[in-house]
Amino acid sequence: MQRLLSRSSTLLRASLQCDLPAPASCSKFTPNSATRGYASIAADSSDEQHRWQLGATAAAALAAAGLASWLILEPETSLCEEAQLASAGQTQKRKPSLPEFHLEDVALHNNKERGVWVTYKDGVYDVTDFLEMHPGGASRLMLAAGGAIDPFWAMYQQHNQEEIRSLLEGYRIGTLAGGQDMSQQVADPYSNEPKRHPALVIRSQKPFNAETPAELLTGKLYTPNDLFYVRNHLPVPAVDPAAYTLRVEGEGLRTIELSLKDLRTKFKRHTISATLQCAGNRRTEMSSLKDIKGTTWASGAIGNAEWSGVNLKDVLEYAGLDDRSETEAGHVQFEGLDSDMEGVCYGASIPIEKAVYKGADVLLAYEMNGRPLSKDHGFPVRVIAPGIVGARNVKWLSRIITSKEESQSHWQQHDYKSFSPNTDYDTVDWESAPAIQEPNVTSAICDPGHNTPVSTCEGTIPVKGFAYSGGGHSVIRVDVSADDGKTWTVAELSSVPAKRSRAWSWTLWQAEVPIPRDHVGSIELICKATDNAYNTQPDSVAGVWNLRGVLNNAWHRVKVQVQEE
């Protein structure tokens, strides 16, 4: 691939699909997956400019090559080393022979007619031809037209990958005069993040994503606040509680604004126990099968807490929602105060019926386990939509909108969805799957941990974990096996008492599992849960693998080293 990046006046449009030997590090890729898309990129270089030109499936190809992250606000797992080899030493300041431009020159190129230029560090790039291929959409890239993309990349730090810098470099047309480096002027939007508990397992710093160590999940029905997993999509917003207002508006409502004091005094306080789980929890098991873009999560992106606040139903009714308007409005959208460069805030929605039915427990919560929400968990107010996936439990809540349509946010329309195992970025039709709402039944072994030594006691080993099912379904049974499912031990369950269809909290479990007599050193423990709709977990990850790596609920497997006593 090196040669594709060298300057040449020849149109080089060779498909790399055949040229590229699959490097060892790419062995996880299948032909219809990332490599095909990535390798179908062809090069068009000339004296005037050199740039990558993409084939017909370019956008999909880029997405497959890891560039979906341009918009998808998730830190990416590293792609294959091929790309890194290709771009090594070829990024900024690589081409001193290029002409110099002043900032004013760049500023003039802020439209398609004149050409769309951007700067990155000291480089100047003509990205006109890339606009339509930007996985985040041309409009988002146009926001940087005529100026620096450094602030945007500071926000979306997942751009900081060699593959993406290399791609950009293909569009380079010059260098900023006077050795200016625009990146020096960019403030880090993540400079005001709160302190976190050192025990959290950090999966990404910016935005901050961290999970609870699995062994700390069991034993307590309520997860301590500072150990509760954190899933941020953007920098944590600084909110002045005195100035905070929550705007409520939309289909069938009069627009109202509520202060924190209004929320605390105008509405009855409710407390519920509810589990939150990131849709990506247990993603690593999927990515170990076949590469996946998305935050790496083991099984600790889940937690249970007691939440206090006001009932969303009460607030909506206060704003005028009645039977008629409820019927007309199909959804309740939530917007957070966390927003990007362009002012686009995090957003999601739930079906309105989940918010307003008798017994609906959707809260606008201001307390978590009896304490005010922390900054990481949505201070001062967040949505707690029990039984619904974490992504819809919007933090730092600023706006509630009843509407006919669900949220049009990226996270509702193009992210938290699952597809068939054979669907990948080059074939995905985002509209073909519904936004995840109620998550499926799942469970995981938390103790013992992977590859840990365990001692047997009279031929059994103690195993602990959690189980959970969305939509208010209770977990009715957890089976644990040490012999690949030939025999199962029924675990002892422990959970917060709940009404049948309002089991919002997880179930913790423990079992003394007989180990097979003929084991040789290590054994694999397996658990699977069944909920009260008798849904259970599928046996293998392969059958539920999906390009976003969400809702992996295959049997959970942990290999341990058995030490005889």
Catalytic machinery residues: 134, 159, 231, 278, 416
Task: Provide, rounded to whole angstroms, the least separation between the CB of residue 547 and a second copy.
Answer: 13
Do 465 and 485 meet the contact criterion of CB atoms below 8 Å apart?
no
Residues 6 or more apart whose CB falls under 8 angstroms from that of 453 comprise 560, 561, 562, 563
Residue among 408, 540, 561, 563 that touches a second copy (CB under 8 A): 540
Asked whether position 386 contacts a second copy by CB under 8 A, the answer is no
DSSP reduced 3-state for 546:
coil
162 backbone dihedrals φ, ψ, rounded to 5° = -55, -40
> Nearest CA to 437 among 467, 419, 408, 416?
416
Stretch near a second copy under the rule CB under 8 A, chosen from 57-65, 69-77, 175-183, 542-550: 542-550
Q: Which amino acid is at 119?
A: T
**With CB under 8 A as the contact rule, which of the stretches 211-219, 306-314, 333-341, 525-533 interacts with a second copy?**
525-533
# chain residues binding a second copy, by CB under 8 A: 50
Residues whose CB falls within 8 Å of the CB of residue 378, separated by 6 or more in sequence, listed in order: 336, 365, 394, 395, 396, 397
- Taking the complex as a whole, the smallest distance from the CB of residue 346 to a second copy amounts, in Å, to 22
Instruction: Output the smallest distance, CB 449 to a second copy, in A.
Output: 24
Whole-number Å distance between alpha carbons of 487 and 122: 64
Q: Which of 285, 367, 357, 366 is nearest to 321 (CA)?
A: 357
* Of positions 66, 246, 537, 548, contacts a second copy by CB under 8 A: 537
For residue 502, the minimal CB distance to a second copy (Å) is 9
* Under rule CB under 8 A, residue 535 binds a second copy: yes
Least distance (Å) from a second copy to the CB of residue 259?
Answer: 31
Between 338 and 479, CB nearer to a second copy: 479
Smaller CB distance to a second copy: residue 114 or 499? 499
Task: For a second copy, give the closer residue by CB, 224 or 516.
Answer: 516
Q: Which is nearer to a second copy, 128 or 537 (CB)?
A: 537
Query: Binding segment for a second copy among 36-44, 151-159, 397-405, 548-556 (CB under 8 A)?
Result: 548-556
Residue 555 sits in the site that holds a second copy (CB under 8 A): yes
| C-beta of 23 vs 543, nearer to a second copy | 543
Instruction: Map the footprint of a second copy across residues 425-454, applying CB under 8 A.
Output: 433-434, 436-441
Q: Binding a second copy by CB under 8 A: which of 408, 501, 522, 563?
A: 501
Task: Give the DSSP letter of residue 405.
Answer: S
| Residue 402 engages a second copy in binding (rule: CB under 8 A) | no
Considering only residues 346-365, where is the footprint of a second copy by CB under 8 A? 351, 353-354, 357-359
Applying CB under 8 A, does 420 fall inside the site for a second copy?
A: yes
Give CA–CA dist 234/512, Å, rounded: 43
Residue 487 makes contact with a second copy by CB under 8 A: yes
CB 299 within 8 A of CB 282: yes
Q: Which of 40, 119, 412, 418 binds a second copy (CB under 8 A)?
A: 418
Tell me how far apart the alpha carbons of residues 307 and 228 are, in angstroms, rounded to a whole number: 13
- For residue 423, state whether it binds a second copy (rule: CB under 8 A): yes
Q: Does the footprint of a second copy cover residue 544 (CB under 8 A)?
A: yes
- CA–CA separation, 443 vs 474, rounded Å? 12
| Interface pick for a second copy out of 159, 282, 528, 556 (rule CB under 8 A) | 528
500 near a second copy, judged by CB under 8 A:
yes
Long-range contacts of 128-133, Cβ-Cβ distance < 8 Å, separation of 24 or more: 129/51, 129/53, 129/171, 130/51, 130/52, 130/171, 132/59, 133/54, 133/58, 133/59, 133/62
Minimum distance from CB of 100 to a second copy (Å)? 53
The two three-digit tokens of residue 221, written as one number: 């029905």
**Contact between 476 and a second copy per CB under 8 A:** yes
Interacting residue with a second copy among 488, 504, 506, 509 (CB under 8 A):
488
User: Could you say whether residue 543 binds a second copy (CB under 8 A)?
Assistant: yes
Question: Which residue, 55 or 485, is less far from a second copy as judged by CB?
Answer: 485
Which range, of 139-147, 220-228, 394-402, 480-488, touches a second copy by CB under 8 A?
Answer: 480-488
> What type of residue is 551?
L
Minimal distance, residue 432 CB to a second copy, in Å = 8
What is the Cα 268 distance to its own chain's centre? 33
Q: What residues numbered 263-322 form the site for a second copy, per CB under 8 A?
A: none
Residues 19, 23: Cα–Cα separation, whole Å: 12
Closest distance to a second copy from the beta carbon of 317 (Å): 14
Contact 548, 295 (CB under 8 A): no
CB distance 292 to 77 below 8 Å:
yes
Cα separation of 268 and 256, whole Å?
A: 18
CB of 539 to a second copy, least distance (A): 4
* Per CB under 8 A, 208 contacts a second copy: no
Supply the minimum distance, in Å, between the C-beta of residue 218 and a second copy. 21
3-state helix, strand, coil in the chain (%, to 5): 20, 30, 50
Distances (CA, A) of 120 to 163, 185, 266, 382, 403: 15, 11, 50, 36, 40
List, as one string, the DSSP characters of 300-339: -SEEEEEEEEEEHHHHHHHTT--HHHHHH--EEEEEEEEE
* Residues sharing a CB contact under 8 Å with residue 431, sequence separation 6 or more, in sequence order: 413
Cβ atoms of 338 and 395 closer than 8 Å: yes
Residue 530 contacts a second copy per CB under 8 A? yes
Q: Is 421 in the site for a second copy (CB under 8 A)?
A: yes
The footprint of a second copy (CB under 8 A) covers 351, 353-354, 357-359, 418-423, 433-434, 436-441, 470-471, 476-477, 479, 485, 487-490, 500-501, 528, 530, 532-540, 542-544, 550-551, 553, 555
